[in-house]
Amino acid sequence: MADIRLIEIKEDILSDNKNLADEIRDMLRIHNVFMLNLMSSPGSGKTSLIVNTIRSMQDTRRIGVIEGDIDSTVDAEKVVQEGIPAVQLKTGGFCHLDAAMIKMALDEMDLENLDLVIIENIGNLVCPAEFDTGAQKNAMILSVPEGDDKPLKYPLIFNVCDVLVVNKIDYMGIADFDMAALKERALKLNPNITIIEASCKTGEGIEKWTSWLTEEMNAYQRAVT
């Protein structure tokens, strides 16, 4: 009987992706650019948080955005309307952004004139968590209407994220959402995760979010200079 040759496709793909992600981080260090990878399920408020971030920080930080979508340029158009440069990555079916895609987007950006690049990843809680984009920090949004059980269903994304923004807290009065349970579940998976309660609609918590982001950028820039 002939031997079976086993090729671990996923391991090879993730290894190659990680190597390219490290190269991206080296490139960003040269330009002193901080990159944030923002992940969430569809409709949780990624674009709204990015727009709020732009409005809060654009007077002090030069911002660029990488928009990932399976199809459409709707979100990129919203960013450009704020006067911010955006690169749209249309994946045509891929459910995540990986380092190779991010490298293509960064090659189209004027990194010499940017301080912050925000990646709006594809909307789902599974595939994006597996692929290193080369970002310095990973963030995720969980909206109140989605429920407090997501750490139980999608543990990996909570493990890889540095900060969790619980968005749409203005729904708390009408949603069956247990904030204490959510925090307990998230912190059990990742004791170092920062949890910020916010509402992109009312503006509550946005200052706390931008303060966290500013502190992370300052720490990064001190380390690379």
Domain spans of the chain, in order of start: 16-220
How crowded is residue 140: how many other Cβ atoms within 10 Å of its Cβ?
28
Contact residues for 138 (Cβ-Cβ < 8 A; gap 6+): 36, 37, 39, 160, 161, 162, 163
Question: Can you give the pLDDT at residue 118?
Answer: 98
- pLDDT confidence of residue 106: 97
d(CA 120, CA 134): 13
The reported pLDDT for the residue numbered 205 is 98
Q: Does domain 16-220 have CATH number 3.30.830.10?
A: no
In angstroms, the CA 53 to CA 210 distance is 7
Per-residue pLDDT tens digits for 158-168: 999 999 999 99
Q: Give the pLDDT of residue 8.
A: 57
Q: What is the structure's pLDDT at 10?
A: 56
Helix (H) or strand (E) holding 22: helix 9-31
Q: Which residues of the chain have pLDDT under 50?
A: 7, 9
